[in-house]
Chain A
C-alpha cells in the first residue's frame, strides 16, 4: 500500500489561489433561513490571525449532505447548496459566512447528532489543519445528547464549541492557544 503524503503549512500566501470569489456565501442573502456565521481567529497572545483560511462543511437545512455517500434519498438535496464554504481571515482576524442552520444527521449509533458544522482552520504556523465543530445555542437538549460533544469531559471546553447569538448573527470565535482555547479534534 502506498504511504501517506504528509501535511505542511498553508503558509501566508494562500490568497494567490484560494478562496474563490463568493466561496464564503453558501446561500444568497434572500434565502429563507439565511444566517450570518462570523467570528474572529486569535493566537496564543490574543493577536488576530490575519493570514488564515477557515473552511466549513455542513448538511443542508433538512440534514442531508450533498455527497454520494449520504444516500438518504428521503431527504431532498437543495439545488445549488454544496454545504462547503471557505473564507480567508481579514486584517483583524475576522471571517464571515452566509449559510443556513443544518438539520440533524445520524451519529455513530444511528441516533441523531445535534446540528453542527465541521470546521477546518489552516494558517501559517499550523503544520497541519485544526479541526473543530460549531454547535448551535438554541439546541441545548440535542447538544446535551450529542455523541461528539459528550467526548469532551470539561464543560468549559464543550462550551467553546457552541456558537452564540450576536446581534442577529451567530458568533463562533476561534482561539488557537491559551485562555479560552477552542477544543480541537483529531479526526
Chain B
C-alpha cells in the first residue's frame, strides 16, 4: 500500500481540533504533576513523515494466553472474573486493525505485583496483572481478567484510586500513540480521584468508563464489559494508488 500524497513529502496529518479534551499537564490536585509538568509552552509542530508513521508490531510478540490474565499461572486468581472487549476505532469510526493493545492492573484486592506497591493487601500468586492482544480485522479486541480493586495512594489524606485498568495503544502512527485508563460504571470513588477528574469535560470523562454488557456476559462464568477506544482521526482520507 502506498499513498500518493506522502510521495513528495506532503503528508496528511492527524486532526488537532479535539485534543483539548485531554487533561492539562499541570493539574495541582494530582500532586505529582506539580514537579513534572513543563513550565514553558509546548511548541506546536506540523506533522511530517516522522509523525504519520509509527511502530508496527506483529503477531509474533503475542502468546496464545497473553489476552487471558486468569490463565497465566497454575491456579486461578481470586476475584470477579470479567471479559473486557470492544473496538479500537479511528476518529472517523473506522476500525484500527492489527494493532497492539497492552493492559496492566491491580489484583482483586487492589495490589499491583510491583515492588513500588507495598500497601497492606495481599499479592495473588495466580495473578500477574499484565496482558496484550492484537485487534482483529474489525478492530475488535478482548481480554479475560478479574475486576481490579480500588487502592489507597498517598496523593492526599485518605486518597483512593477508582478501580481501573491501564491501557496502552499505538494505532497507525507516532501521532496516534495513546496511554489511558479504563474505569468501571458507578464507582463511588470518582468524586475524589484527581486523575479521573483531570479530564475536565464531563462527556470526555464518561468516555473513559466501560459499560456493562449483558450480551457478552457468559452464564455461570464471567461478567462482560464493553469498552470502545477512539484514536485521533486523519485530516483527510489518504488516497491509495
Residues of A participating in the B interface, judged by any CB pair closer than 8 Å: 1-18, 20, 43-45, 47, 49, 51, 55, 57-59, 65-72, 82-84, 105-111, 113, 116, 118, 120, 122-131, 147-148, 151-152, 157, 176-178, 181-187
Contact = CB atoms under 8 A, between A and B. Distances in A.
A90 to B, nearest CB: 13
Contacts of B45: 131, 148, 151, 185-187
Nearest to B43: A185
- Main SS at interface, chain A: loop
Nearest to B194: A127
17 contacts: A6-B205, A7-B22, A16-B114, A43-B35, A59-B50, A66-B56, A70-B53, A83-B55, A84-B55, A107-B48, A110-B8, A110-B10, A125-B34, A125-B35, A127-B25, A128-B22, A187-B174
Contacts of A118: 50-51, 174
**Interface hub of A69, A70, A111 (most chain B Cβ within 10 A):** A69
Contact of B40 (A49, A55, A65, A181): A181
Contact of A105 (B49, B55, B89, B232): B49
B159 interface: no
A67 to B, nearest CB: 4
B179 A184 contact: no
Interface string B18-53: 110111110100101111111110111111111111
Contacts of A186: 16, 19, 42-45
Given A70-B53, A128-B23, A130-B25, 5 more contacts: A1-B92, A13-B116, A66-B56, A111-B9, A118-B50
Given A1-B93, A8-B179, A118-B174, A17 B9 contact: no
Contacts of B112: 13, 16
Nearest to B116: A12
B203 A3 contact: yes
B231 A4 contact: yes
A6 B164 CA distance: 14
A4 B50 CA distance: 22
Nearest to B89: A2
Interface in B81-103: 89, 91-93, 102-103
Nearest to B37: A177
A150 to B, nearest CB: 11
Contacts of B25: 126-128, 130
A70 B6 contact: yes
